[in-house]
Amino acid sequence: MTSNREIHLASRPEGWPTEDTFRLVETDVPTPGPGQIVVRNQFMSVDPYMRGRMNDVKSYVPPFALDAPLDGAAIGEVVASESADVAVGDTVLHGLGWREYALLDAGAARQVDPALAPASAYLSVLGMPGLTAYAGLLEVAAMKPGETVFVSAAAGSVGSLVGQIAKLKGAGRVIGSAGSAAKVERLRALGFDAAFDYHDGPVRDSLRAAAPDGVDVYFDNVGGDHLEAAISAMNLHGRAAICGMIAQYNDTEPPAAPRNLSLVIGKRLTLRGFLVRDHNHLRDAFVRDVAGWLREGTLSYDETVVDGIENAPAAFLGLLRGENLGKMLVRL
Ligand SMILES: NC(=O)c1ccc[n+]([C@@H]2O[C@H](COP(=O)([O-])OP(=O)(O)OC[C@H]3O[C@@H](n4cnc5c(N)ncnc54)[C@H](OP(=O)(O)O)[C@@H]3O)[C@@H](O)[C@H]2O)c1
């Protein structure tokens, strides 16, 4: 192969991105210099945080540059190497997705064992979303056995793992919200005790009905009306792991909710934001637990796979619209 295709950021979206936000660009397959490798990407991840990187604002990750390839987690096979540490044929995880061939320093790639799990799993259940669920639930919210847990975007990559890990770690009752009847059905099949479609009525009412004895731990992927409903439903000394607020990533106005923040005082609630990258010390325990649950068959994970680099923008837009069950991935 001599030709490589990659996706560039063509414009910065105001509100919802569209296909015009992206541009497919053809380049030559790169050649490695000393200490470098070339990876033929097999899967790349599209993630909600990438929406924030399309804005030219200061944040915890730098913005994507205009007229340059986007980046993000990817996994693939090394096809050329000028490094003694990485061999042609190795499978590596790295940060240069959104392109068919990636050129990077060997030190920026992590070798993984393709015999242990399918390559895609390193971008989902065994990768960043899995660790996010594990760390957010068990360390940030410090869930204890017997507690009632509520998670939003529960049929997504992080959320579906949060609910299952909660059950596996002894939660008393696990409730999930999602955006369609099919997703609600999937949550019940995954072992959630209750699930509701947030389109069916005010989240506050649906959550009250699903958690008559209140919520001890809220894992927030959505923000807005979900966070407001959770604050209302939370018991004394409840804890919320604030993971994401996808309901407002495309908003051009400040959010209308939550309007009930003052309740955190009387209820002595803890609302704690977190970034998965601060929890790498849990990686060994996470891999041990998750690999064990996968082996036993007690943990399931869903993946929605879109084929072809040319369809990566559609996969990303679909993720924001909720077209994914589990992890949204692009197979290259
Ligand atoms: N803090 C961290 O380190 C960290 C790390 C990873 C992810 N995150 C955050 O975690 C959350 C989940 O990420 P993920 O990768 O697992 O994505 P995901 O849940 O697999 O996909 C996003 C889901 O959000 C739901 N959604 C979109 N708009 C919504 C709205 N207005 N109201 C309610 N739900 C909406 C959609 O499902 P429905 O069909 O149910 O609407 C969609 O499937 C995101 O907020 C992300 O930013 C944070």
pLDDT per residue of the chain (332 residues) written in tens, 0 to 9? 689 999 999 999 999 999 999 999 999 999 999 999 999 999 999 999 999 999 999 999 999 999 999 999 999 999 999 999 999 999 999 999 999 999 999 999 999 988 889 999 999 999 999 999 999 999 999 999 999 999 999 999 999 999 999 999 999 999 999 999 999 999 999 999 999 999 999 999 999 999 999 999 999 999 999 999 999 999 999 999 999 999 999 999 999 999 999 999 999 999 999 999 999 999 999 999 999 999 999 999 999 999 999 999 999 999 999 999 999 999 99
Q: Is the CB of 162 under 6 A from ligand 1?
A: no
Measured in Å, residue 110 CA sits from the centre of ligand 1 at 26
What's the pLDDT score for residue 217?
99
Measured in Å, residue 278 CA sits from the centre of ligand 1 at 19
Q: Is the CB of 125 under 6 A from ligand 1?
A: no
- Looking at the chain, the whole-number percentage of residues with pLDDT higher than 70 is 100
Residue type, 152: S
Q: Is the CB of 131 under 6 A from ligand 1?
A: no
What's the pLDDT score for residue 324?
98
Q: Whose CA is nearest to atom 42 of ligand 1?
A: 322
- Residue 233 and residue 211: Cα distance in Å, rounded? 8
What's the pLDDT score for residue 115?
87
Nearest-atom index, ligand 1, CA of 246: 45
Q: Whose CA is nearest to atom 37 of ligand 1?
A: 322
Question: Could you give the residue ranges of the DSSP H alpha helices within the chain?
Answer: 49-53, 128-135, 157-168, 181-189, 203-210, 224-233, 263-266, 283-296, 312-321
Q: Is the CB of 293 under 6 A from ligand 1?
A: no
Beta bridge pairs of residue 8: 23, 69
Nearest-atom index, ligand 1, CA of 273: 1
Q: Is 271 helix (H, G, I), strand (E, B) or coil?
A: strand
Q: Is the CB of 274 under 6 A from ligand 1?
A: yes
Taken in order of first residue, the domains within the chain and their CATH numbers are 3-123+302-331 (3.90.180.10), 128-277 (3.40.50.720)
Measured in Å, residue 158 CA sits from the centre of ligand 1 at 8
Q: Is the CB of 129 under 6 A from ligand 1?
A: yes
Nearest-atom index, ligand 1, CA of 274: 1
- Our mutation pick for probing the ligand 1 site, out of 45, 134, 158, 196, counting the most ligand atoms within 8 A of Cβ, is 158
Q: Is the CB of 243 under 6 A from ligand 1?
A: yes
Check the CA dihedral 112-116-120-122 and report its sign. Answer: negative
* Confidence (pTM): 0.98
Measured in Å, residue 202 CA sits from the centre of ligand 1 at 19
**What backbone torsions phi and psi does residue 263 show, to the nearest 5 degrees?**
-65, -20
Q: Whose CA is nearest to atom 2 of ligand 1?
A: 275
What's the pLDDT score for residue 2?
80
What's the pLDDT score for residue 137?
99
C-alpha pair distances (Å), 219 with each of 141, 191, 270? 8, 17, 12
What's the pLDDT score for residue 114?
87
What's the pLDDT score for residue 116?
87
C-alpha pair distances (Å), 287 with each of 72, 135, 284, 292? 21, 12, 5, 8
Q: For residue 65, what are its two tokens?
A: 């540059």
Measured in Å, residue 30 CA sits from the centre of ligand 1 at 34
Q: Is the CB of 130 under 6 A from ligand 1?
A: no
- Our mutation pick for probing the ligand 1 site, out of 221, 228, 275, 329, counting the most ligand atoms within 8 A of Cβ, is 221
